[in-house]
Each structure stands twice: as C-alpha cells, then as structure tokens.
A and B are shown apart, each in its own frame.
Chain A
Amino acid sequence: MSYEQDPQNVTNPEHDEHHVVSPLQYTLVFVTLLTMTAITVAAAYVNLGLLNPVIALAIACFKACIVVLFFMHIKYSSRLIKMTVFSGFFMFFVLVMMTLTDYMSRAWGRY
C-alpha cells in the first residue's frame, strides 16, 4: 500500500518506524546477558530452598525479554508485531496452565 494511494495510512496504521538500534545498545544488552548468566549460575550454588527455581526462571525470563526487546527489535516494532509476539507466549501459557489444572487437581479429594 503506497504512500500516494493512502497518505493518511488508513488501511495499514500498523506501520513501524524503521529504527536502527545502535551497537552501543547491543553491547549494553550483551553485557547484561552475560552478567545475568553469571548471577544465575552463582545463585544455583546457594541454598534458597523453594526460591531457587523461581529465581532461575525469573532471570531466564528477564534475559529472554531483553533479547526479544532489543536484539529482536520488538521495542521499536509496530503494535501488530508486539501483539503477535504476545499471542505466541500467551498460547504457550494457556497450554501449560490448563494442562496443569488436570495434574495439580488429580489428587484433590483423595485421602
């Protein structure tokens, strides 16, 4: 859909600005990722009981988030792309959560 035919961009308001992420931003993300990796390995050696898997997963989620936002440019993408990414992860959560309704409640009501 070209600019001449649709200058108000009525039919495709989902255009994104073609933003170029700078190498400095990439380097910052890279260093953060390495640091978080070190933290997650270190945390595995400390006994925090139930918190251990929580912390490991939380750090992994954070790392994934910054990869998605910066390396994969989602921060600068159109709403359409953002919704697409969100729907993918949402569907994964539905798969896990609703399957867990079965597994977690199987023993309920039994002695």
Chain B
Amino acid sequence: MDNQAINETLGAGALADGHAEHVSLPQMRHHFETEEQQREAASLGMWLFLLTEIMFFGGLFMAYLLYRNWYHDAFVAASNTLSIPLGAFNTGVLISSGFMMALAVWAAEMRKKGLLVVFLVLTTILGLVFMGVKYVEYKEKFELRHVPGESFDISRFVNPTPEARDQQHLPVDTARKTELFFSLYFVMTGMHALHMIIGIGLLVWLIARAQKGDFSAGYVAPIENFALYWHFVDIIWIFLFPLLYLINIHPGR
C-alpha cells in the first residue's frame, strides 16, 4: 500500500514511513499486552462460540437426516406445503443482509462512520424483512393446522384438495409422519429465527454505538465479531433452505 492509501486508512495516527503510531485505544483491556492480542483473543473467542452453535444445530440436522431417510414420502408431501418462492426470496434476503454486514465491516475498518451506520441499518432492515416473511409462513401453517401437537391435522395429506394436483394422497400412518417433518421444521427454523432476533437486537445496539463513533476510530472488534455471528446464522439458513424446502422435484408448477 502506498503512503497516501495508508494515511487514508489509518488516519491521523500514521507516520511518514507508513506504520501506525502505537496509539492505545480507550477500549483496550489491561490484562492484554497489546491491542492485537485483544483483537485476536476476541476473534478466537467468537469462533469458539460459533463452534458451539455448529454442534447445537448439528443435533437438529442429525435428527432431520434420520427421519427424512425413514419417512421420505411423508417428508416430501409435507415439504410440498412450503412455499418455494417465499423460501427462495428469504434466502436472497439473508444473503443480501450478509453482504451488507460484510460491507459494514469494511466501512468500520476504513473508519467511515456514515457508511458503517448505513450498512448496519440495511443489514437490520433485511433481517426484519426475513422475519416478516417467516411470520407469514408460520401464520399459514397455523391456519392449516400443521403445527405439531394436539391440533395437528393430517386430512390434507390423506385427502389432498383439488388445487394440489401434485399431491398424492398418503395412507393414514404415513400421513401421520408429516408431523415429524413439521416438528423439525418449526424447531429448526424457530431456533434459527431466535438467533436472528438476538442478532437484530445486537444490531440495534451496535447501530447506536456506531452512530456515536465508537467503531470508526480503529476499534472494530465488535463489528467484526458480530459479523461472524451474523454470517453463521446465514450459513444455517443456507442449509435449511434446500433441506426443508427443496426435498423433491416439483413437476412444473
């Protein structure tokens, strides 16, 4: 990088030979020797937390793998009741919000406060859009009585309505197994949604602090580490979408 670029990126603390002066940030914690150590420790800590999330969702994916294998026909029929356009749209929304978050990290590293706030706000808005679509989807499932538990209703699987041309009618005991699909659907997307809600809450807090300028003076660790969390939640959805929505071939609908 040439000197001008260095000065632009590092700002006032840059010296003529291109290295940043060792300015201690106010957020430096004193049990660390250097800021670099603090930043790397925070990053490693966040990754370890994400490992726990991998294993947490991993149990659910294991359950899904097993029951999809055991009750393939029921899972196919149940998956057909999910709306692929809505799911695909949501996937696009989440990918876009991940893109916005990545740009927010870049803005923080470039010390551009205004852009950082804009990208964080866009990330949040896209996250809220995702939640809105999920609400619509859940509402439909409640109306169709596809929520597992006392009120679970298999009649649409045993006797499909005329509109669902591709739906073959299932024998009763196979139809009963659709409840397992919906159990996993609600637990998996529900857990994912819970993580999104927590993420959106954290985003609001980060936006407030970013607006105050906390993250545009060189201290970018919270933005970086939150971005790791947000991307991870995105990755979970990247797997949930094909597994839950795209199980079988939909003959030209």
Chain A residues with CB under 8 Å of chain B are: 1-3, 5, 12, 15-16, 18, 20-23, 26-27, 29-30, 33-34, 37-38, 40-41, 44-48, 52-53, 56-57, 59-60, 63-64, 67-68, 70-72, 77-78, 80-81, 84-85, 87-89, 91-92, 95-96, 99-100, 103
Contacts and interface: CB of A to CB of B under 8 A. Distances in A.
A59 B241 CA distance: 11
Given A41-B246, A44-B84, A88-B50, A26 B102 contact: yes
A67 B34 contact: no
Contacts of A78: 40
A21 B69 CA distance: 41
Contacts of B59: 95
B152 interface: no
B174 interface: no
Interface in B32-71: 33-34, 36-37, 40, 43-44, 47-48, 50-51, 54-55, 58-59, 61-62, 65-66, 69
Interface stretch (B130-138, B193-201, B227-235): B227-235
Given A22-B106, A45-B250, A71 B227 contact: yes
Contacts of A95: 55, 58-59, 62
B106 A89 contact: no
Contact of B106 (A16, A23, A77): A23
Contacts of B40: 15-16, 78
Given A16-B40, A80-B44, A87 B96 contact: no
B114 interface: no
A37 B231 contact: no
Interface stretch (B87-95, B143-151, B176-184, B209-217): B87-95
B242 A34 contact: no
B95 A37 contact: yes
26 contacts: A2-B33, A2-B34, A5-B33, A15-B40, A20-B110, A27-B99, A29-B99, A33-B99, A40-B241, A41-B246, A45-B249, A48-B249, A56-B242, A57-B243, A60-B238, A67-B98, A77-B43, A81-B47, A88-B50, A88-B51, A88-B55, A91-B51, A91-B55, A95-B59, A96-B58, A100-B65
Contacts of A53: 247
A52 B249 contact: yes
A29 B98 CA distance: 11
Given A67-B231, A84-B44, A88-B54, A59 B106 contact: no
Given A77-B43, A91-B55, 20 more contacts: A2-B33, A2-B34, A15-B36, A20-B106, A26-B99, A29-B102, A30-B98, A33-B99, A34-B95, A40-B242, A57-B243, A60-B241, A64-B235, A71-B101, A71-B234, A84-B47, A85-B51, A89-B54, A92-B55, A103-B69
Contacts of A18: 36
A41 B246 CA distance: 7
